[in-house]
């Protein structure tokens, strides 16, 4: 089981907490005090050089070359590069080889590994072992088992794509992502990356749209690239993600039902900044966290995930991990796999990883920057100005087209990163705002302004632009000029999409990036060719004319200032940029006819799939808020209020006793004031919890998922926030010994 029970399969009822044995706050603290030495089983690879075990659990190119007959090997390679299917015979040879390799390594089971729209990965394990019709026990795994499986689809969201009588979903092998062996406890399972589709092939997952959008942009980018360089044969999309997360002792997870069920603290008073630093546990954080990181790194390396770790100091107990960039499909799989590994490895260390975007109120949230670029088969980065930026217009073409695409589809990009949990982070003054703007840095902004203001795109102007580009400081090394408040920034040789949430599947925003930029590149090529034909312009002048038009059209979205400031919100509104602050509002972008046509034109989503994915995003939102609000109501009723009543009684008894002594009333004035304060907040919590339960009920009564989401967003959420205000206040005045939930300062500093 995974730690973050934001899974939607949880059975929710008023007895939600009876499903697990909760740990009491002081037991948790005791346990932690006694964790002097977490000695781990010696996993020997750590002592070897990384290169000697890197990728040892992956059925990668080297393994295939070694195990497969030559002809089968080349068929697989060709299928990966062209995206075509393998013949049944070749699939049979691959399956047989894969089985042998996996069994040699001790695997007993295999699983189709896929990425349903819940955001987590799923796998259904089957044994290699089977009994033949003659009653003989054998290990079997053929082309059929490799190519397709039928997991119980009905438990994954399908947004209505599967009617109840056709509840089946199928997983189908994605040969472009290598199979791998997952070590769980003492068992080993061969995992086969797959797409998850309906009977008629409609996508029920993140992977298929990503693969479609990738081949769409690769073709579009290749066509544009060939305008400059005829030798390029293939383009690929590259992604380098940066994963942020929190690490706490696992006993606190068990002591906080809200963390356990929703991944975040629904209640909790944040400590003063200074106090956090003074805490005496602070010094011991790095060692335990670093042990975890080292172990995690080893597991990642065995699976061919090229990570390098680093310690991030923004929030206490918050860290970041980033790999080298890879082809987008592989990078996404690796990130999904990493999130899974993190939870497994943490468990070994008696730690819990919090991947939620905002586990602690008032403390920096977690994101997952997505660094996106395009590379040629010759190893050239198309967004790198390179050593000779003055040589041709290629860099400028890809650079400007990306910006133009983001200008055109900013709302769609915003929608692609919308989720209940990311809503807590965006615009919260420590994360990118919900307004999409593009930061390019001073030097490139000057180049763009120069082109925009240029009167004519003649040969002289092109020369000037190219020499201006040549003079810009080395962009790849120029890290000083970085604006951290921008949601979308050019960082020297790639665009960095900073709005992505830490718990998300990167596929969502990556699919949108690929689709919008691919479409924009197609349009660009058409417009240039048209201009060349109608005005008889040479290619570079036509290109410059079109780029100049695009830059002028994109000016409103280019912003170099402070994205967190109030002034920017106002300025953005004047520029006509949208500020969609919550998920239901953001998701409407998918309803825009312009967006619908884009998906059809690019072939990334059919109309039917669009509707289903739209519905699932709303369902995810509604389910998350449903769980959170119910957990909060239960917490108030069974944890917070009983503790407060106990303290209230204690103070009342105290006043009563003093009164018996016939003391003047001002001698127990502070107790009386406290009692009044306590009673006021207790009454507020009790009555608002009642209102909350009614609001949840009424949200469920709404006729459709859109109005339900609005009800959650505009009625349920504000109530949750106002309950929290009172509870957090109570936390500050109720006797510490009586407070039932682990406090922020305890959770964030561990030994």
Binding site for Mg ion (CB under 5 A): 242, 369
Contact set for ligand ADP, span 223-242 (CB under 6 A):
238-240, 242
In three state form, how does the secondary structure of 555-573 look? HHHECCCCCCCHHHHHHHH
Q: Find which of ligand ADP, Mg ion, none residue 67 binds, CB within 5 to 8 Å per kind.
A: none
Q: How far is the CB of 329 from Mg ion (least distance, A)?
A: 21
CA atoms within a 13 Å half-sphere pointing along the CA-CB vector of 76: 30
Note whether 328 binds ligand ADP by CB under 6 A. Answer: no
Q: Which one, 305 or 353, has the nearer CB to ligand ADP?
A: 305
Following DSSP, what letter does each residue of 401-423 receive, concatenated?
A: HHHHHHHHTHHHHHHHT--TTGG
The binder of ligand ADP chosen from 109, 494, 580, 624 (CB under 6 A)? 494
If contact means CB under 5 to 8 A according to the sort of partner, which of Mg ion, ligand ADP, none does residue 95 touch? none
E strand intervals along 198-330: 235-249, 307-310, 318-323, 326-327
Indicate the residue among 97 and 238 with the shorter CB distance to ligand ADP: 238
**Minimum CB–partner distance for residue 176 and ligand ADP (Å):** 18
Residue 324 contact among ligand ADP, Mg ion, none, beta carbon within 5 to 8 Å by kind:
ligand ADP
Our CB check for ligand ADP shows the closer of 220 and 239 to be 239
CA 166, 172, 175: angle at the middle one, nearest 5?
170
- Angle, helices 459-471 vs 394-408, to 10°: value is 90
Dist. CA 599–CA 209, nearest whole Å: 10
Chain-centroid distance of CA 195 in Å reads 19
Find the binding residues for ligand ADP in span 357-376 (CB under 6 A).
369, 371-373
Please tell me whether residue 25 binds ligand ADP under the rule CB under 6 A.
no
Residue 364 near which of Mg ion, ligand ADP, none (CB within 5-8 Å, type-dependent): none
493: contact with ligand ADP by CB under 6 A: yes
**Shortest Å, Cβ 404 to Mg ion:** 23
Residue 61 Cβ, how far from ligand ADP at the closest point, in Å?
A: 20
Q: How far apart are CA 565 and CA 173, in angstroms?
A: 47
SS (H, E, C) 539-552: HHHHHHHHHHHHHH
Q: Provide the minimum distance between the beta carbon of 209 and ligand ADP in the complex, in angstroms, as a whole number.
A: 20
Closest CB to Mg ion among 369 and 580?
Answer: 369
Which residue is associated with the tokens 């995003």?
617
Position closest to Mg ion via CB:
369
Contact between 622 and ligand ADP by CB under 6 A: the answer reads no
Strand partners, 598: none
Q: Is 418 left (phi over 0), alpha (psi -120 to 50) or beta?
A: beta
* Residue number with CB closer to ligand ADP (316 or 367): 367
The interface with ligand ADP within residues 121-180 (CB under 6 A) comprises: none
The residue among 495 and 614 lying less far from ligand ADP, judged by its C-beta, is: 495
Q: Tell me the three state secondary structure of residue 122.
A: strand
Q: Does 509 bind ligand ADP (CB under 6 A)?
A: no
Q: Which of residues 421-450 bind ligand ADP (CB under 6 A)?
A: none
Q: Buried (b) or exposed (e) across 465-475, using 16+ Cβ within 10 A?
A: bbebbeebeeb
* Short-list 623, 640, 751, CA closest to 265: 640
Verify binding: residue 334, ligand ADP, rule CB under 6 A. Answer: no
Residues in binding contact with ligand ADP, number by CB under 6 A: 14
378-417: which residues touch ligand ADP (CB under 6 A)?
Answer: 381
CB of 396 to ligand ADP, least distance (A): 17
Name the closest residue to ligand ADP (Cβ).
240
3-state secondary structure 293-349: HHHHHHHHHHCCCCEEEECCCCCCCEEEEEECCEEHHHHHHHHHHHHHHHHHHHHHC
Tokens of 227: 């305008």
**Does residue 324 contact residue 240 with C-beta atoms inside 8 Å?**
yes
Residues that bind ligand ADP (CB under 6 A): 238-240, 242, 322, 324-325, 369, 371-373, 381, 493-494
């Amino acid at each position: 089981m995974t730690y973050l029970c934001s899974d939607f399969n949880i059975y929710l009822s008023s007895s939600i907490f009876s499903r697990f044995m909760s740990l009491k706050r002081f037991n948790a603290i005791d346990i932690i005090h006694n964790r002097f030495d977490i000695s781990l089983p010696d996993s020997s690879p750590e002592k070897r050089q990384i290169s000697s075990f890197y990728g040892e659990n992956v059925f990668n190119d080297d393994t295939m070359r070694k195990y497969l007959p030559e002809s089968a090997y080349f068929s697989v390679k060709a299928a990966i590069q062209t995206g075509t299917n393998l013949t049944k015979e070749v699939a049979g040879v691959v399956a047989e080889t894969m089985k042998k390799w996996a069994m040699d390594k001790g695997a007993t089971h295999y699983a189709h590994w896929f990425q349903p729209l819940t955001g987590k990965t799923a796998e259904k394990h089957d044994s290699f072992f089977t009994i033949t019709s003659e009653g003989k026990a054998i290990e079997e795994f053929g082309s059929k088992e490799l190519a397709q499986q039928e997991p119980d689809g009905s438990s994954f969201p399908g947004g209505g794509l599967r009617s109840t009588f056709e509840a089946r979903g199928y997983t189908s092998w994605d040969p472009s992502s290598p199979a791998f062996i997952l070590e769980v406890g003492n068992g080993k399972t061969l995992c086969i990356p797959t797409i998850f589709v309906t009977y008629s092939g409609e996508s029920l997952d993140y992977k298929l749209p990503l693969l479609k959008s990738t081949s769409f942009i690769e073709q579009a980018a290749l066509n544009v690239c060939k305008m400059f360089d005829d030798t390029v044969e293939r383009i690929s999309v590259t992604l380098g993600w940066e994963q942020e997360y929190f690490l706490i002792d696992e006993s606190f997870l068990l002591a906080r039902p809200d963390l356990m069920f929703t991944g975040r603290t629904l209640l909790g008073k944040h400590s003063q900044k200074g106090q956090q630093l003074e805490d005496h546990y602070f010094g011991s954080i790095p060692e335990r966290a670093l042990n975890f990181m080292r172990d995690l790194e080893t597991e990642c390396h065995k699976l061919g995930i090229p990570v390098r770790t680093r310690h991030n100091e923004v929030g206490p107990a918050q860290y970041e991990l980033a790999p080298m960039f890879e082809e987008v499909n592989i990078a996404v799989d690796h990130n999904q796999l990493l999130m899974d590994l993190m939870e497994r490895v943490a468990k070994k260390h008696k730690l819990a990883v919090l991947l939620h975007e905002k586990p602690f109120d008032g403390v920096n949230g977690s994101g997952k920057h997505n660094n996106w670029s395009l590379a040629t088969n010759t190893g050239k980065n198309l967004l790198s100005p390179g050593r000779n930026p003055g040589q041709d217009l290629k860099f400028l073409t890809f650079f400007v087209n990306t910006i133009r695409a983001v200008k055109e589809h900013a709302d769609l990009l915003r929608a692609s990163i919308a989720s209940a949990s990311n809503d807590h982070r965006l615009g919260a003054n420590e994360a990118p705002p919900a307004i999409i703007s593009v930061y390019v840095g001073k030097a490139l902004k000057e180049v763009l302004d120069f082109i925009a203001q240029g009167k004519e795109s003649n040969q002289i102007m092109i020369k000037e632009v190219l020499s201006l580009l040549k003079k810009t400081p080395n962009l790849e090394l120029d890290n000083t000029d970085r604006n951290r408040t921008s949601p979308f920034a050019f960082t020297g040789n790639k665009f960095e999409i900073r709005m992505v949430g830490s718990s998300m599947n990167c596929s969502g925003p990556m699919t949108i990036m690929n689709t919008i930029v691919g479409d924009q590149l197609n349009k660009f090529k058409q417009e240039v060719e048209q201009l060349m034909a109608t005005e008889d312009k040479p290619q570079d002048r036509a290109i410059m004319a079109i780029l100049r038009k695009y830059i002028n059209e994109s000016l409103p979205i280019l912003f170099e200032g402070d994205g967190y400031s109030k002034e920017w919100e106002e300025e953005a509104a004047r520029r006509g940029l949208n500020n969609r602050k919550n998920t239901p509002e953001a998701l409407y972008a998918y309803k825009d006819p312009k967006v619908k046509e884009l998906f059809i034109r690019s072939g990334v989503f059919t109309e039917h799939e669009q509707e289903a994915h739209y519905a699932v995003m709303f369902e995810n939102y509604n389910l998350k808020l449903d769980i959170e609000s119910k957990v909060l109501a239960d917490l108030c009723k069974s944890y917070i209020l009983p503790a407060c009543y106990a303290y209230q009684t204690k103070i009342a008894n105290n006043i009563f006793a003093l009164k018996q002594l016939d003391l003047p009333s001002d001698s127990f004035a502070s107790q009386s004031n406290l009692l009044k304060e306590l009673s006021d907040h207790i009454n507020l919590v009790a009555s608002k919890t009642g209102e909350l339960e009614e609001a949840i009920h009424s949200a469920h009564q709404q006729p459709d998922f859109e109005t339900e989401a609005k009800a959650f967003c505009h009625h349920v959420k504000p109530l949750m926030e106002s309950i929290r205000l009172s509870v957090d206040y109570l936390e500050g005045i109720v006797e510490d010994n009586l407070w039932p939930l682990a406090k922020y300062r305890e959770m964030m500093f561990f030994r």
